[in-house]
């Protein structure tokens, strides 16, 4: 069985994660909590979020969950303030929440466009806005924006999602410049096709299996923990001089 790194700098560090009740987000919550971080996470799925928090707190870890719709900016920023009151100002923010709902570009309405941008991009900016003052006061911090290889490999049926995910790296680059002089690092974490329950249930069919086998340089599959372990490194002091970059965890698929 493989053994993975521990990061002493994450011990007791306040961390905020969006979309943390399932998939990659749940793995992020588990991995940061296992490192001894004080984790606050939001999700719209109340039952799953409550169960995950209860499970990890039962292990003696420090986890708080707030049910929140990230497209409600005041509510989301209030949730972040609540985590700060309980754990201290966030020193790590992982903008993980997203939704790759399929859509036909010819049928997109302005309202649908706005909704998808709110789910996949807008919340990341306003979460940064909420945590940055505390990080500035501390003179340190790590912000991790979750991208996607989908726009790099031109995946079909998700053009708005791909547009938002391409914009994530622009957000990363611009905010790295804005916040860097205050000691705050901002990077993009870019997963490939990750074997979450949603992907396995809705999208991974025999043709998808063949596509992965043909496209990845590495054999096997990318799992949520593979992505989370990169997030741990980017959050820890081990990556102290890394900012404005994108880190692709896709088994060697996309040409980033």
Active site annotation includes 112: no
User: What is the layout of strands, in order, in the sheet containing 92-95?
Assistant: 62-67, 38-43, 14-18, 92-95, 141-146, 184-191, 246-249
Q: What per-residue confidence (pLDDT) applies to 87?
A: 98
Helix runs in the chain, H state only: 23-34, 46-58, 73-87, 110-117, 123-138, 159-179, 197-202, 206-215, 224-235
Record the pTM.
0.96
- Taking the C-alpha atoms of residue 18 and residue 80, their distance in angstroms, rounded to an integer, is 10
Q: What per-residue confidence (pLDDT) applies to 201?
A: 83
Residues 182 and 137 sit within 8 Å (Cβ to Cβ): no
Q: What per-residue confidence (pLDDT) applies to 197?
A: 84
Mean pLDDT of the chain: 97
- Taking the C-alpha atoms of residue 151 and residue 246, their distance in angstroms, rounded to an integer, is 14
Q: Which residues pair with 234 in a beta bridge?
A: none
Which ranges of the chain have pLDDT less than 70? 1, 256
Q: What per-residue confidence (pLDDT) applies to 1?
A: 57
Q: 81-109 burial, b if ≥16 CB within 10 A, otherwise e?
A: eebbeebebbbbbbbbbbebeebeeeeee
User: Which tens digits make up the pLDDT trace of 190-234?
Assistant: 999 999 988 888 878 999 999 999 999 999 999 999 999 999 999
Q: What per-residue confidence (pLDDT) applies to 21?
A: 98
Structural domains in the chain plus CATH codes = 8-249 (3.40.50.720)
User: Which tens digits make up the pLDDT trace of 20-36?
Assistant: 999 999 999 999 999 99
Q: Count of alpha carbons within 13 Å of 174, Cβ hemisphere only? A: 8
Question: By CB neighbour count within 10 A (0-12 exposed, 13-18 middle, 19+ buried), where does 65 fall?
Answer: buried
Of the residues 76, 112, 161, 223, which is catalytic?
A: 161
Question: Could you give the 3-state DSSP secondary structure of residue 194?
Answer: strand
Q: What per-residue confidence (pLDDT) applies to 200?
A: 82
């Amino acid at each position: 069985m493989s053994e993975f790194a521990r990061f002493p700098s994450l011990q007791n560090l306040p961390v905020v994660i969006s979309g943390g009740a399932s998939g990659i987000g749940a793995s992020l919550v588990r991995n940061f909590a296992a490192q001894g971080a004080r984790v606050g996470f939001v999700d719209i799925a109340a039952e799953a979020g409550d169960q995950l928090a209860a499970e990890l707190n039962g292990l003696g870890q420090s986890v708080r969950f707030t049910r929140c719709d990230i497209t409600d900016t005041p509510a989301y920023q209030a949730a972040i303030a609540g985590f700060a009151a309980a754990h201290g100002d966030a020193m790590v923010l992982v903008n993980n929440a997203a939704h790759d709902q399929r859509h036909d570009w010819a049928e997109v309405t302005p309202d649908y466009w706005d909704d998808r941008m709110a789910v996949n991009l807008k919340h990341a900016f306003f979460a940064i806005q909420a945590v940055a003052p505390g990080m500035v006061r501390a003179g340190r911090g790590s912000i991790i924006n979750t991208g996607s290889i989908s726009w790099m490999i031109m995946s079909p049926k998700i053009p708005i999602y791909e547009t938002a995910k391409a914009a994530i790296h622009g957000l990363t680059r611009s905010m790295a410049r804005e916040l860097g002089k205050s000691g705050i690092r901002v990077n993009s974490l870019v997963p490939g096709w990750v074997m979450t329950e949603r992907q396995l249930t809705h999208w991974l069919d025999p043709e998808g299996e063949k596509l992965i086998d043909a496209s990845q340089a590495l054999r096997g599959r990318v799992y949520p923990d593979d992505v989370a372990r990169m997030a741990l490194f980017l959050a820890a002091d081990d990556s102290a001089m890394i900012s404005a970059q994108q880190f692709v965890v896709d088994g060697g698929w996309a040409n980033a």
